Amino acid sequence: MRHIMSYDIYIVGIGIKWIEHITLEVDRVLGFCKEILYIERAPGIEEYFAEKADFVTNLTDLYSEDSERTETYHEMATRVVDSALEHSPVAFALYGHPTIYAYPPFLVREMAASLGLSVKLLPGISALDCLFCDLAIDPSVNGIQMFEATDLLLREHPINTAAATVIWQIGSLETALFSSARSAASRFDRFRDYLLRFFPEHHPIYAVYSQPHPMLKSQVHKFEISKIEQFSTVLHSAVTLYLPPRMPSEVKNVELLSKLQDPNYLRNLTAT
Ligand SMILES: C[S@@+](CC[C@H](N)C(=O)[O-])C[C@H]1O[C@@H](n2cnc3c(N)ncnc32)[C@H](O)[C@@H]1O
């Protein structure tokens, strides 16, 4: 199928599980791009991209130990835009979903706008989607809130314990620098103390590493907040935390509740 309208840059999510999460839409778009620039380390992914486009560039190698992650993101965005100026259309492929806890796509959009280049964002399966399946959770039951781990501590966001909580990027807690080193157990002290402002010490945390490849299984570790330092070795850069609500929230508006099954009330809500 031909594309109806072409953009200079496609920013696409490729999901979490190797090439198995790539949507038909993204697969089709990659097939007409001249270059694919990507952030992903999975073995075999380069070969898949090489079948799609003449030029394939792995931007993951731009990360270096102790460097500022934002500087690396600027470098990545510049490479994508330069490539589009040279031979559009190009694709910028990122694991997961391209706008969920991912800064480079926003830099690309800004740079592209200032140069008159058009950009299209295409969704991918996020680590959040995988977490819902790995833990068999429906986020609508109690509602859900999400925080970035370091941002939670910086802004001291209040946590609503009646809703579920998802915490991203625990593996890069308390630093803006890139590091592939394992965390020290004491790294999580401030984080644990912050959670204990809202939850009792026995409240469970689920640390989820969702299946990154069909040959590997998802890993889920469940532990009490007060024991987090014992799990420092499993809290790596591809882990997301989930905390269930303390207790299900109660219905407060009983007057509205009484109307939910009332056909006459429904008639008031709908246009005739
Ligand atoms: C920079 S963000 C990118 C998120 C990505 N855009 C997405 O939609 O999933 C990196 C964070 O995603 C989460 N993550 C990435 N891979 C994961 C996996 N296989 N299992 C669980 N969480 C993962 C972790 O919270 C990690 O710190």
First to last CA, the chain: 42
Is it the case that residue 136 has pLDDT exceeding 90? yes
DSSP collapsed to 3 states, 34-48: CEEEEECCCCCHHHH
Counting every residue written for the chain, the total comes to 272
Which among 125, 141, 165 is the end of a domain?
125
Q: Which domain holds residue 50?
A: 9-125
Residue 1 domain-assigned (yes or no): no
Q: Number of structural domains, the chain? A: 2
CA 1 to centroid of ligand 1, rounded, Å: 32
Residue 263 domain-assigned (yes or no): no
Local confidence band at 4 (pLDDT 50, 70, 90 cut-offs) = low
Per-residue b or e along 75-88, where b marks 16 or more CB atoms closer than 10 Å to that residue's CB: ebbebbbebbeeeb
Which among 125, 150, 183 is the end of a domain?
125
Is it the case that residue 2 has pLDDT exceeding 60? no
Q: What is the pLDDT of residue 66?
A: 83
Residue 249 domain-assigned (yes or no): no
How crowded is residue 199: how many other Cβ atoms within 10 Å of its Cβ? 20
Residue 183 domain-assigned (yes or no): yes
Q: How far apart are CA 36 and CA 41, in angstroms?
A: 14
Do residue 205 and residue 239 come from a single domain? yes
Among protein residues, the one whose CA lies closest to atom 14 of ligand 1: 238
The pLDDT tens digits for 61-111 are: 898 888 888 999 999 999 999 999 999 999 999 999 999 999 999 999 999
Do residue 35 and residue 135 come from a single domain? no
Do residue 148 and residue 102 come from a single domain? no
CATH number of the domain where residue 99 is located: 3.40.1010.10
Do residue 21 and residue 106 come from a single domain? yes
Do residue 114 and residue 162 come from a single domain? no
Do residue 142 and residue 236 come from a single domain? yes
Local confidence band at 129 (pLDDT 50, 70, 90 cut-offs) = very high
CA 263 to centroid of ligand 1, rounded, Å: 44
Provide the β-strand partners of residue 81: none
**In this structure, are residues 218 and 209 in contact, taking their beta carbons and an 8 Å threshold?**
yes
Higher pLDDT among residues 168 and 61, named by residue: 168
Q: What is the rounded average pLDDT of the residues 196-209?
A: 98
CA 70 to centroid of ligand 1, rounded, Å: 17
Q: What is the pLDDT of residue 38?
A: 96
CA 109 to centroid of ligand 1, rounded, Å: 21
CATH number of the domain where residue 218 is located: 3.30.950.10
Is it the case that residue 244 has pLDDT exceeding 70? yes
Among protein residues, the one whose CA lies closest to atom 19 of ligand 1: 210
Give the position of tokens 């694919």: 36
Q: What percent of the chain has pLDDT over 70?
A: 99
96 CB within 6 A, ligand 1? yes
Q: What is the pLDDT of residue 69?
A: 87
Do residue 44 and residue 118 come from a single domain? yes
225: nearest Cα among 193, 260, 255: 193
CA 180 to centroid of ligand 1, rounded, Å: 15
Ligand 1, atom nearest to 124 Cα: 8
As to burial, measured by CB atoms within 10 angstroms (0-12 exposed, 13-18 middle, 19+ buried), residue 209 is: buried
89 CB within 6 A, ligand 1? no
